[in-house]
Amino acid sequence: MKVAIVHDALNRSGGAERVVAVLHRMFPEAPIFTTFFDKRAVGLPLAKADVRVSWLQGLPKVKRHSRRYAPLHPFAMRSFDLRGYDVVITSGSAFAKGVRVPPSALHLCYCYSPMRWAWSFEQHADRAALTASARVAARLALPALRRWDFASARNVGRFVAVSTEVSERIRTTYGRGSEIVFPPVDVGRFRHDRPAGDDFLVVSRLDAYKRIDLAVRACTTLGLPLLVVGDGPERETLRSIAGPTVRFAGRLTDREVTSRFERCRALILPGEDDFALTPLEANAAGRPVVAFARGGALDTVRDGETGVLFHDDTAESLEGALRALQERSWDAALLRAHAETFSEEVFVSRFRTVLTSALEQRKLGRLGADDAA
């Protein structure tokens, strides 16, 4: 069976890229097709994988200004020649599923979310602080973007969603059913027997929609020590509202991030994520979580067992959850055991089961019939 892997873009090291790395280990002979590739940003093992880039890679300053080239991504994806492959696994939340897949091949799409800018425009535009002219231009392009995204979804043989929330979005957006396979957690990366420290921890890219401002405001009000790990466009805004108990570490190495997880008091996930990976990483390190009760956190955080959920996207609601977390003790072994149910081994087993089922249904000519919403 000849497999190809297609990913939106390999220009950062995040949860989606970790999934691609696991897919690479599952199918080591499969080339990885992507619009553009930054070896230094993604690190190992993908830096040494057989990665095949589109013509976007050669455009001026594409690494620094990747978003400016977004309108070209559909054309770049369709330029790949995937003839001869039996299975094409696309991984993304934007353009990967628009790749040309041979009629004889199975197209399995591992979907992190339907395209956010197309289907949740107001939410993301408000928090991205677009200029008036940029907002107008984006709105004018929105109908065409939605038509393209919906049409490209019709070429998918089977959708696989990263969470219950994303599965529901796929149903409402594309009218398609989907299997749910939670992304893998590298549980073995963490020790859960280290003594807890005093710091509350945020590990995130500093984008507006991540709502790191809630954590900064809540910890400032309560006088709790907060360490923010990560960088992004909201860095200076967050610094301007932070009190003396809040520190910003910027980007850290994987080893340094692991150490912060192992030595924190608890992790804070203040925004809505498609799938909440960092709470499980905290649990793997024996630490509880305070998380917003939306999106992927509902799959990964057990309220009162592995963390505390807060229900309103306000600093006051988060403050109440932080108080509740401090009022009880947490069993590090139980937290670790919960994280292990999302391990890489579990992901690989579940993904192979879904792939095998899709291949069997394809042989019977039923693929697409059974996954309609």
> For residue range 150-193, what is the model confidence (pLDDT) as tens digits?
999 999 999 999 999 999 999 999 999 999 999 999 999 999 99
Residue range 213-217: mean pLDDT, rounded: 98
Domain that holds residue 245: 187-340
* 200 assigned to some structural domain: yes
* pLDDT of 182: 97
Does residue 257 fall inside a structural domain? Answer: yes
Q: Within this chain, do residues 79 and 18 fall inside the same structural domain, yes or no?
A: yes
Q: How confident is the model at residue 144 (pLDDT cuts 50, 70, 90)?
A: confident
Residue 214, exposed/middle/buried by CB under 10 A (0-12, 13-18, 19+)? buried
For residues 278 and 202, what is the distance between their CA atoms, to the nearest angstrom? 9
10 and 157 inside one domain: yes
Number of domains in the chain: 2
Q: Give the pair of three-digit tokens for residue 311.
A: 């229900």
Residue 78 covered by a domain: yes
369 found inside a domain: no
Is the pLDDT confidence value at 127 over 60?
no
3-state secondary structure at position 34: strand
Same domain, 33 and 167: yes
Yes or no: say if 34 and 90 are a contact pair by the CB < 8 Å rule: no
**Averaged pLDDT, 124-136:** 58
CATH number, domain with residue 180? 3.40.50.2000
- Please compute the mean of the pLDDT values over residues 136-142 and round it to a whole number: 71
State whether residue 180 is helix, strand or coil: strand
Shared-domain flag, residues 106 and 153? yes
Same domain, 177 and 66: yes
Asked if the structure places residue 372 within a domain, the reply is: no
State the amino acid at position 100 in one-letter form: R
Residues in the chain: 373
More confident residue, 281 or 363: 281
Dist. CA 118–CA 140, nearest whole Å: 11
Residue 225 has pLDDT above 80, yes or no: yes
Are 110 and 229 members of one domain? no
pTM: 0.88
User: Does residue 127 sit in the same domain as residue 262?
Assistant: no
pLDDT digits (tens, 9 = 90+) for 285-310: 999 999 999 999 999 999 999 999 99
Judgement on whether residues 191 and 121 belong to the same structural domain of the protein = no
What pLDDT, in 10s, does the model give residues 66-111? 667 778 888 999 999 999 999 999 999 989 999 999 999 999 999 9
For residue 353, the model assigns a pLDDT of: 97
Confidence bin at 316 (pLDDT 50/70/90): very high
Q: Of the ranges 71-80, 139-148, 248-257, 277-286, which one carries the lowest mean pLDDT score?
A: 139-148
174 and 207 share one domain: no
Instruction: Kindly report the number of other CB atoms within 10 A of residue 244's CB atom.
Output: 8
Strands (E), the chain: 3-7, 32-34, 51-53, 87-92, 106-111, 158-161, 179-180, 200-203, 226-229, 246-250, 266-269, 289-292, 307-310
The larger pLDDT score, comparing residue 224 to residue 135, is at: 224
Kindly state whether residues 177 and 194 are assigned to the same domain.
no
Residue 370 lies in a domain: no
Sequence-distant (≥ 6) Cβ neighbours of residue 178 within 8 angstroms: 111, 158, 159, 160, 161, 166, 167, 170, 171, 371
pLDDT at res. 108: 98
Kindly state whether residue 55 falls inside one of the protein's structural domains. yes
Same domain flag for 292 and 358: no
Same-domain check for residues 333 and 351: no
| CB-based contacts of 301, cutoff 8 Å, min separation 6 | 269, 276, 279, 289, 291, 307, 309
Residue 373 located in a structural domain? no
Q: How confident is the model at residue 118 (pLDDT cuts 50, 70, 90)?
A: confident
Query: Tell me, what's the pLDDT at 85?
Result: 97
Rounded Cα–Cα distance for residues 171 and 177 (Å): 6
